[in-house]
Amino acid sequence: MLRYLTAGESHGKGLIAILEGLPAGLRIDVDFINAELRRRQMGFGRGARMKIEHDTAEIFSGLKAQKTLASPIAMIIHNKDFSIETLHPVFCPRPGHADLAGYLKYGFSDIRECLERASARSTAATVAIGAVCKLLLKEFNISINSTVTSIGGATSLKERIEKIKQAMQRNDTVGGTFQICCHNVPAGLGSYVHPDRRLDGRLAGALMAIPGIKAVEIGLGFGYAKRFGSQVHDAIYYNKKKGYFRLTNNAGGIEGGISNGEDIHLSCCMKPIATLMNPLNSVNVSTNKPAKAATERSDVCAVQSAGVVAESVVAFVLADALLEKFGADVLSDIKKAYQFYLRRIR
């Protein structure tokens, strides 16, 4: 079983990521991991923190001669802005953030004790984990990419940029949508046997756990609700060269909780970031009197970045499902099992 843990606060010493369950023999390219971390920091609408931090991962364990040992991989991303002990306390929760819910749940006296971990800064560790998983998937010619599809309802690049500029002028924030496509995923990952093994459920859960994500669709998604079955289900064909294939992919590459051999298509909606420079009404939790919500250094729009984080969690889920089906000890053995399986299903 592939599993991971992350640790660290937004303004703590750094972020730690531990990935356990990789097979032995996988070559790890640290430059690729760092390139993925840079991608997470890009996009029009990102805030001043991106100018401070230049995220790079340092690998502490799990490698010898740049190859995995089947032991846990530990990575650290150091924070340049290490100021958690000196930052001012926060008493006015931001609507839309974990501030109030976390304050009530854990009995903190200062909301900062909640927001430091609830911050999306933690997704840098997630991207480092996802980058390693992408390196595993690459060995099987599986790739993942994301594309921004709308910002504040605007779809063209020019209109999306204009929408972000409008948010900046208003001291506001803006969300949007993005798509993820997974290429060359073989049929047979996941299972219909139990709910927790369904590939669609695992992917949807991982995506919904990304900070700011409020909706996930697979394939046609809500479009299924508007049409007859004969208009949406993907007819099946066969030839000796391709094997089984479809001419349409409304299912988004997953049927009955199992990948069906078509590209996996996922769509996500990210809400506008909760930190507003023109803050909404709130309550000061130390006095219970009306107040304006707290303001923190933040982004105006991070939809492009969220797409990179989404690629990472999808890579983890697919890598886990791949190892679940084909073995998890030695990369060379897994490749042999994979090739045998592909020959069988054709």
Query: pLDDT tens digits for 16-25?
Result: 999 999 999 9
Phi, psi at 238, each rounded to 5°: -150, 140
* Mean local confidence (pLDDT), 24-42: 97
Task: Give the chain's radius of gyration (CA, Å).
Answer: 22
State percent of the chain over pLDDT 70. 99
* Mean local confidence (pLDDT), 55-81: 96
* Mean local confidence (pLDDT), 155-165: 96
E strand or H helix at 202, and its extent?
helix 199-208
Q: What is the pLDDT of residues 284-312, one digit of tens each?
A: 999 999 999 999 878 999 999 999 999 99
Q: What is the CATH number of the domain that holds 101?
A: 3.60.150.10
Burial of residue 270 (CB within 10 Å: 0-12, 13-18, 19+) is buried
Q: Are 98 and 271 in contact (CB under 8 A)?
A: no
Q: List the domain range (segments joined by +) for residue 106.
A: 3-345
Q: Are 155 and 226 in contact (CB under 8 A)?
A: no
Count structural domains, the chain.
Answer: 1
Q: Can you read off the two tokens belonging to residue 326?
A: 């084909």
For 292, half-sphere exposure in the C-beta direction (CA atoms, 13 angstrom radius) is 8
- Beta-bridge partners for 284: 289
For 111, half-sphere exposure in the C-beta direction (CA atoms, 13 angstrom radius) is 20
Specify the range with the lowest mean pLDDT, choosing from 44-58, 116-130, 255-269, 323-337. 44-58
- In this prediction the pTM is 0.95
